[in-house]
């Protein structure tokens, strides 16, 4: 059974029809990359998955549990929303670390507030996560003391701390200087090696090619092409071909 089923997602902002019938499934441990030009609906799709936006139509099913159903008109209560959001983690383009907390506290904040684990255990796990992104030695630093690449690696550790089923990345390297993208991509790659289920919105074509099991190309709110990484070598659709030549 697929870990994620997305069925016929439609979303408009006023007259702007941003998502027009998005369908896809994702298997446990798979990496899906979503590519496409800006305005094609990639970010909106991720935000719908994370319940930051609500689609107008369609269904989102995680592990067999329907977490969104557009045919149900009732808005979910805050408690329900909090539960739904725990299925997903989201790493933002501009990190959004909490500036007033140290690196360690950024990672431990949510587990301390939402789980019943002891503080020692939460901190031990947080340190393991920071170790895995190579920043255990920065645990007592504040975000303003870190480079962009380091901040994004902390943000990844923070997202992992709530043990999401699916980790989403919204252009994780777009706000970084070119020489800093490598360290972040390396961390994402190591997660792929450990079979973390991930959805990555990215403009890094060669990275998407290397790390993905499946690639979706979005254009004008629809999935214009999909397939294995090979579709980047031999694009099946003209629109994808045109998009790729712009790189």
Report the nearest approach of another protein to the CB of residue 149 (Å).
18
Residue among 222, 108, 92 nearest 156 (CA): 92
**In this chain, which stretch among 2-10, 59-67, 85-93, 206-214 interacts with another protein, using CB under 8 A?**
85-93
B/e letters for 49-75, b = 16+ CB within 10 Å, e = fewer, are: bbbebebebbbbbbeeeebbebeeeee
- Among residues 38, 54, 114, 128, the one that binds another protein under rule CB under 8 A: 114
Residue among 6, 11, 19 nearest 222 (CA): 19
Residue 162 touching another protein (CB under 8 A): yes
The helix or strand, by DSSP H or E, that contains position 205, with its residue range, turns out to be: helix 205-211
Q: Which of residues 177-236 bind another protein (CB under 8 A)?
A: none
- Among residues 8, 37, 63, 83, the one that binds another protein under rule CB under 8 A: 83
Residue 13 touching another protein (CB under 8 A): no
Residue among 218, 229, 207, 211 nearest 42 (CA): 218
**Comparison of 164 and 235: residue with beta carbon closer to another protein:** 164
Residue 175 touching another protein (CB under 8 A): no
Residue among 154, 116, 107, 152 nearest 135 (CA): 154
How many residues sit close enough to another protein to count as binding (CB under 8 A)? 28
Q: Where on the chain is the footprint of another protein (CB under 8 A)?
A: 50-52, 78, 82-83, 85-86, 88-90, 92, 94, 96-100, 109-110, 113-114, 142-144, 158-159, 162
């Amino acid at each position: 059974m697929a870990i994620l089923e997305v069925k016929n997602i439609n979303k408009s902002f006023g007259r702007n029809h941003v998502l027009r019938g998005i369908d896809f499934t994702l298997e446990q441990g798979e990496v899906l990359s979503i590519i496409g030009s800006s305005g094609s609906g990639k970010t909106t799709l991720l935000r719908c998955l994370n319940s930051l936006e609500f689609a107008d139509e369609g269904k989102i099913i995680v592990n067999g549990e329907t977490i969104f159903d557009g045919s149900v008109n009732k808005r979910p209560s805050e408690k329900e929303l909090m539960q739904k959001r725990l299925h997903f983690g989201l790493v933002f383009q501009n990190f959004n670390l909490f500036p007033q907390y140290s690196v360690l506290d950024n990672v431990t904040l949510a587990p301390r507030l939402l789980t019943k684990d002891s503080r020692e255990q939460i901190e031990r796990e947080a340190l393991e996560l920071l170790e895995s992104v190579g920043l255990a030695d920065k645990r007592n630093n504040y975000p303003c003391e870190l480079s962009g690449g380091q901040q994004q690696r902390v943000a990844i550790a923070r997202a992992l701390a709530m043990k999401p089923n699916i980790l989403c990345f919204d252009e994780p390297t777009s706000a970084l200087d070119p020489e800093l993208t490598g360290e972040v991509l390396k961390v994402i790659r190591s997660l792929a090696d450990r079979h973390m289920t991930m959805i990555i919105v990215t403009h890094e074509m060669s990275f998407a090619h290397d790390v993905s099991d499946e690639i979706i190309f979005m254009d004008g709110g629809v999935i214009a092409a999909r397939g294995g990484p090979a579709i980047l070598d031999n694009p099946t659709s003209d629109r994808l071909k045109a998009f790729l030549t712009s790189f």
